[in-house]
A and B are shown apart, each in its own frame.
Chain A
Amino acid sequence: GAVVSQHPSRVICKSGTSVKIECRSLDFQATTMFWYRQFPKQSLMLMATSNEGSKATYEQGVEKDKFLINHASLTLSTLTVTSAHPEDSSFYICSARALAGGINEQFFGPGTRLTVL
């Protein structure tokens, strides 16, 4: 299957700092990328949907000014958690949907574990 990578895999930061997480589709072009957040023992909650070259669509209750998403190319989307606080500590997972070729599956990245001290 297609490969999606995320970087970093793990990050620890101080409260008030900003953290950038990258999501890359390595062997396919992704029309759409999705960002999910997963708290311990909970489900994956969709935060936002991003399409290359356009503004992200945020789910209800997700602050767009706090979680900045940039989808500058068909293979890269970034999520920046601005002014992170301990309650932002979570497992952030991206996924990418292929551009063409009849592929209808979403491929998930390995996740980024964010710990805010």
Chain B
Amino acid sequence: GENVEQHPSTLSVQEGDSAVIKCTYSDSASNYFPWYKQELGKRPQLIIDIRSNVGEKKDQRIAVTLNKTAKHFSLHITETQPEDSAVYFCAARSSSASKIIFGSGTRLSIRP
């Protein structure tokens, strides 16, 4: 089955700097890659997603890139703000299965 690995597990950046979180997946049939932000005790919130027919997608300060050949995808947050502090999860879903498998998560802290 699908296995999603995520790095780093913790990340601390200065406010205003950029943050990058990287993930790899194992199932070449995966074709949908969402990213979630989760605050303590709350449900995961979808912040951006990318499909396998696209290499890059941007939404304001957030961008995702996908390298299908290498099975890598990354989240980029620019001009970080204190409210960006949270746990971020990458995930993958294959075309043959409807389930979403999560990465291990990255705890992002923004230093003022």
Q: Report A's interface with B, CB cutoff 8 A.
A: 32, 34, 36, 42-46, 49, 91, 93, 95, 97, 104-106, 108-111, 113
**Shortest Cβ distance from residue A67 to the other chain B in the assembled complex, whole angstroms:** 16
A110 and B43 in contact (CB under 8 A), knowing A43-B103, A44-B102, A104-B32?
yes
A42 and B105 in contact (CB under 8 A), knowing A104-B32, A108-B44, A111-B42?
yes
Interface check B89, CB cutoff 8 A: yes
Q: What's the tally of chain B residues with a CB closer than 8 Å to chain A? A: 18
Instruction: Point out the residues of chain B lying under 8 angstroms from A93, CB to CB.
Output: 43-44
B91 nearest in chain A by CB position: A44
From A93, A104, A106, residue with most partner B Cβ within 10 Å: A106
Instruction: Point out the residues of chain B lying under 8 angstroms from A44, CB to CB.
Output: 44, 89, 102
Q: In the complex, are the beta carbons of A34 and B103 less than 8 A apart?
A: no
Instruction: Point out the residues of chain B lying under 8 angstroms from A42, CB to CB.
Output: 104-105
Q: Mark B23-65, 1 if CB is under 8 A from A, else 0.
A: 0000000001010000001111110010000000000000000
